[in-house]
Amino acid sequence: MNALRDHILRQQPEAVLNLLHEIEQFAGIRVEFWLYPEDSIPDGSNPFAATLQVHRDAADILVRDPDRTTSQQVLHELLHLQRYWMEGVPQVVPVGTDPGNWDITSQIENVLEHLVIIPRERERGIDSFPYWRENLCGFWKSYPWPNLQNDFARRKNALLSWLQLEDLEPSIELRTIAENALRSEGLLTEAKRLRSRIKLKIRDKPQMIAHALQASRIPRNNVRLLYFDVKARSEQRETVPKTR
């Protein structure tokens, strides 16, 4: 028995429980819930956010405080899991074990997945648009980004943050702030072009990844596409295709 899982699931609405059941029936695997290890508690804008750890034969959702774990957080991680296990979309992962490279690919992965997942949350009755919009508001209003000193980080964060913005129904004020920041960085035209290309490829995750890498100036050979076949309990890594 997993008492933490039982405690969290008692607080979930039907839409979340139904998705969990659907995933578990498909995979033949029980999704577990655990507390974060003390040495890996998340930081950032929401230290109480949940995190999904997904493998070819297991899936765990890590939480810090069960009583502050929201239905939106649980639904969000389950939607990620549905994509990786049931829909078979790949994740982008680095070659090698450098933690810095994992941070970069995780950021790209999350941004691309959120273009699909956040609208799906709303379809299931949980509107997280205000939360994510507030997160992006903090980034754009902090321009000229004194904590981002190198050109690679400035470019990557600006382009990826613009990718998400339009889907979140920003105010005219926030959109103007973002456009002015991109214009000052010389990235406005490129950011809009990248968003158009990504949206055209929204059903083609490898191409979404390829375009995001190209725009971020990350060589394709530095990363791989990681696929899970949960029914076979197997995984496969493939090279990222060229953009088209």
pLDDT band at 40 (very low <50, low <70, confident <90, very high): low
At 72 the pLDDT is: 96
Above 90 in pLDDT, residue 122? yes
Mean pLDDT of 57-82: 96
pLDDT, average across residues 24-30: 98
pLDDT for the residue numbered 109: 98
Q: 48 pLDDT exceeds 80?
A: no
Q: Is 84:116 a contact under the CB 8 Å cutoff?
A: no
Distances (CA, A) of 108 to 12, 51, 156, 172, 179: 29, 16, 9, 26, 21
Whole-angstrom Cα distance, residue 219 to residue 227?
20
pLDDT in tens, 157-211: 999 999 999 889 999 999 999 999 999 999 999 999 999 999 999 999 999 999 9
Q: Which pLDDT score is estimated for 41?
A: 56
pLDDT at residue number 113: 98
pLDDT of residue 47: 62
pLDDT over 90 (residue 45): no
With 90 as the cut, is the pLDDT of residue 130 above it?
yes
d(CA 119, CA 121): 5
Query: Is the pLDDT at 212 greater than 70, yes or no?
Result: yes
Q: Is the predicted pLDDT of residue 154 greater than 80, yes or no?
A: yes
Contact 185, 147 (CB under 8 A): no
Percent of the chain whose predicted confidence (pLDDT) is above 70: 95
Say whether pLDDT at 37 is over 90: no
